[in-house]
Structure 1
Amino acid sequence: MPVMEISPSSCHVFLLLATLAVGVVSGLTIQSDDARIHYHGRWDDSPGTWWAGSGFKLHVKNATTMKIQLGPTTTTPFAAVGVSVDYEPFFTVNASAGWNDIPLPAAPTFKRSDKSVIRVNVEGWQNNRINLQTIVFNRGATLHPYKPSKLSFQFIGDSLSAGQYLPLGVDQAWPFLLGEQFKAEHTINAQPGATLTDIPSYGNVHGVSFQFFKTEDTGYVWTADHNYTTPWDFRRDRPSPTHVVIHIGANDVSQGVTPDQFVQEYLGFLKRLRTIYRTQPIFVFTPWGWPSADGNVWYYYDGKYEEIVRKRIALGDSRIFLVNTTGWVTFDDVFADNQHPNVPGHAKIANLFSEWLENWGLRPERQWATPA
């Protein structure tokens, strides 16, 4: 049998590849089906993310390094992923298919020798797919169950809730900030350009009244490997939302949906939501409007949100509440070229809604359920 000769340089290459391979897989290896991973948001069976803010949480001890392996359906060339360690502010990692380093020391108070909480989510309302396969920590690290907060918000909306145009995407949007302030779990199903009414709008082939009940966000139609929808199993929401918040309608009016049509569409949506969220408080936002440089604010569907809430109460729904956001947003709070809330604007909205909720009777949790 002939003997293959290996040059010194070839040996060096083989050894380097072997070392890299060992470096990737050595240590605490966690597969995507591990029950100790706490998934939140919408994931398909691959598992892969849909909708802004979907991600996972880990409770780990003695972690010094972290890698995640992502599969082929991950957004190309990368998906912007938000990472928070021990509830510190989120920072961005651009993650792509293959192995990705998650820089744990980037969080200034990371306690390497203690149990710590690591949270990972997709930031964008588009290009937001990560296909999780494997998580690897250093040797000596141990994974523990994550205990979710008793308080859990479900947010439903459009670009005004999805974090469109923000540097960190949904991680800087008012729903996300509100959830953080209340030390709550929070899921955000919001799609820029989408109407509530199930009609095409700004690249969305469906409205939120259809898409909310699906695993996929409205971007599925542009995805060659997954251009179909699957029903969302609401039993997968862990925990089930304790409070539901809706802010929607800007795209309906721009697409010519009449006030009366909008009322009927909203009432039908609420009726269907009540088959899932039977007793949870539902908060209906009025529009904060489109502010202009001259100080004027254009409000749409004037009086119709009040009518929607009144009609639900008349049907016996005592757990629905109107949140009047008139005056909450001025021209200083938005990007001048598109009138969407800027970073300070989103923080302002979160603070105003937090104050509203506390006056209503809801208090933030004193500490996170899984302490860092």
Structure 2
Amino acid sequence: MKVIITAIAFLMPIFSSSALSASTSNATSDSGLVIKNNDPRIHFNGRWDESPGTWWASSGLKLHVQNLKSLSLNLGPHTTVPLASVGVSLNYGEITTVNVSQGVNGIFRESAALQVGTSEGDLSVVRLNVEGWQDNRINLESISLNSDATLLSYVPSKLAFQFIGDSLSAGQFLPEGVDQAWTFLTGEHFKAEHNINAQPGAALSDIVSFGNEHGVSFQFFRTEDTGYFDTTDHNFTTPWNFSRDQPPATHVVIHIGANDAAQNVTDAAFVQVYSNFLVRLRTIYTHQPIFVFTPWGWPNADGTISQYYQGQYQIIVDQRHSIGDDQVFLVNTTGWVTFEDVFPANQHPTVAGHQKITRLFTQWLQKWGLDPELEWATPA
């Protein structure tokens, strides 16, 4: 079971991130070993702006530490008020929810699931990510470790998934958000790195949809998620530099279209915007396999399933094949999700429903030819 902890936040002077970025030299102080936010040994994943602050569910960081006994996050003013929920995993174990806020947040103080530093010289891997598709901003100023700890470099997995989607991929309505979604769980199954750019309510078409100012065909190429216009620090978007995705994605997975259908985007228009999106993706992911999900639809209590864009995803894939791109694959998810797998009030998959989708997709991928890594690349 996942433990939810409210981290202890202490008031402290907040220093500008530009000042912190001036030097990567770290110092030992009364608060321990202080790691600057631009230390190259911090492995950032997902979308971080220059402050640095997180956008999009699942964005986070990974640390490899020798002799880890304590860890605190020192967070700046762009952190969500009153708090942001982050998932923390120690040594690839279960994920524990920790609620953090501006100031100093002790991560390893209260949780039985996060026990560290049992033997001198032990190696530890700490993975941390924001869970929510909203209220998910953490503004990292520095990290404090115990004074006798040593920060090492994190070696990422050879496999790296890029997931693209909407609420059905972002973990909306789940207690622990994206960390219980099929996207995140698929990455974990394969012992892979994974970035998840999925925004509830957003269409693929660049239109206003359920509070989103832009569609994913626009927003995916931006640093910010579609909630940018409600944040306190800025109300604009900045291009994302895909060279910052390290390692680059080895596999791209797309599940999208529900909100286009809800906004009455026609079949022809949807096929066109999806095809154009794939053309643009191929400028970034020039050869990587791209997996196009068909909808599993909206299950009803009477056993029927409401579908949308039936047959159109096959057309999209066939068009790519017709121009010689044989690395685009259709994943037929028909029958994967029934009414028993969703919340009756909103027809989104439950925790068990996401676990079922994970099982079916990982089986599909292994039949396709992708096997999980035997072990994580960074030892713990």
Compute the TM-score of the two structures, normalised by the length of structure 2. 0.91
User: Match of 2:143, SS?
Assistant: strand
Residue 24 of structure 1, CA deviation = 8.1
1:196-207 to 2 correspondence within 5 Å? 196-207=204-215
User: Match of 2:292, SS?
Assistant: strand
1:292-311 to 2 correspondence within 5 Å? 292-311=300-319
Show the counterpart of 1:331.
339
Distance in 2 between residues matched to 1:111 and 1:242, nearest whole Å: 34
Deviations along 1:284-323, whole A, 9 cap, x unmatched?
0000000011111111100000010001100111100000
Which stretches in structure 2 are left out of the alignment for 5+ residues? 1-10, 13-27
Do residues 133 (structure 1) and 138 (structure 2) align?
Answer: no
Deviations along 1:163-212, whole A, 9 cap, x unmatched?
00001100000000000000000000000000000000000000000000
Do residues 33 (structure 1) and 38 (structure 2) align?
Answer: yes
Change (3 A) 1:109 1:98: closer
1:216-255 to 2 correspondence within 5 Å? 216-255=224-263
Show the counterpart of 2:7.
none
User: Match of 1:215, SS?
Assistant: coil
1:106-185 to 2 correspondence within 5 Å? 106-107=112-113, 110=116, 112-113=118-119, 114-185=122-193
Distance in 2 between residues matched to 1:347 and 1:226, nearest whole Å: 36
Number of aligned residue pairs: give it: 352
Consecutive aligned runs of 4 or more in structure 1 exceeding 6 Å deviation: none
1:348 alignment partner AA: K
Residue 111 of structure 1, CA deviation = 5.4
Change (3 A) 1:303 1:25: farther
Residue 140 of structure 1, CA deviation = 1.0
Show the counterpart of 2:53.
48
Residue 106 of structure 1, CA deviation = 3.3
User: Match of 1:68, SS?
Assistant: strand
Show the counterpart of 2:220.
212
Give aligned-pair identity as a percent: 65
Show the counterpart of 1:370.
378
Match of residue 64, structure 1, among 69, 72, 77: 69
Show the counterpart of 2:286.
278
Match of residue 108, structure 2, among 103, 106, 116: 103
Distance in 2 between residues matched to 1:126 and 1:25, nearest whole Å: 35
2:137 alignment partner AA: R
Show the counterpart of 1:14.
none
Distance in 2 between residues matched to 1:233 and 1:269, nearest whole Å: 17
Deviations along 1:259-296, whole A, 9 cap, x unmatched?
11000000000000000000000000000000011111
User: Match of 1:347, SS?
Assistant: helix
Distance in 2 between residues matched to 1:40 and 1:185, nearest whole Å: 8
1:292 alignment partner AA: N
User: Match of 2:277, SS?
Assistant: helix
Show the counterpart of 1:6.
none
Distance in 1 between residues matched to 2:157 and 2:342, nearest whole Å: 32
1:271 alignment partner AA: V
Residue 224 of structure 1, CA deviation = 3.3
User: Match of 1:235, SS?
Assistant: helix
User: Match of 1:51, SS?
Assistant: strand
Distance in 2 between residues matched to 1:213 and 1:112, nearest whole Å: 43
Show the counterpart of 1:318.
326
Show the counterpart of 1:86.
91
1:43 alignment partner AA: W
User: Match of 1:218, SS?
Assistant: coil
Distance in 2 between residues matched to 1:24 and 1:255, nearest whole Å: 56
Distance in 2 between residues matched to 1:88 and 1:109, nearest whole Å: 11
Distance in 2 between residues matched to 1:133 and 1:108, nearest whole Å: 22
User: Match of 1:263, SS?
Assistant: helix
In 2, are the aligned partners of 1:86 and 1:110 still within 8 Å (CA)? no
1:220 alignment partner AA: Y
Distance in 1 between residues matched to 2:293 and 2:37, nearest whole Å: 37
In 1, are the aligned partners of 2:86 and 2:128 still within 8 Å (CA)? yes
Decide which structure has greater helix share.
1
Change (3 A) 1:110 1:357: farther
Distance in 2 between residues matched to 1:192 and 1:303, nearest whole Å: 24
User: Match of 1:106, SS?
Assistant: coil
Distance in 1 between residues matched to 2:216 and 2:114, nearest whole Å: 39
In 2, are the aligned partners of 1:86 and 1:109 still within 8 Å (CA)? no
User: Match of 1:266, SS?
Assistant: helix
Distance in 1 between residues matched to 2:31 and 2:58, nearest whole Å: 30
1:254 alignment partner AA: A
Show the counterpart of 1:345.
353
Do residues 261 (structure 1) and 269 (structure 2) align?
Answer: yes
Distance in 1 between residues matched to 2:293 and 2:354, nearest whole Å: 15
Compute the TM-score of the two structures, normalised by the length of structure 1. 0.92
Deviations along 1:91-115, whole A, 9 cap, x unmatched?
1111000010102653367553310
User: Match of 2:227, SS?
Assistant: helix
* Residue range with higher mean Cα deviation, 220-229 or 320-329: 220-229
Distance in 2 between residues matched to 1:117 and 1:340, nearest whole Å: 33
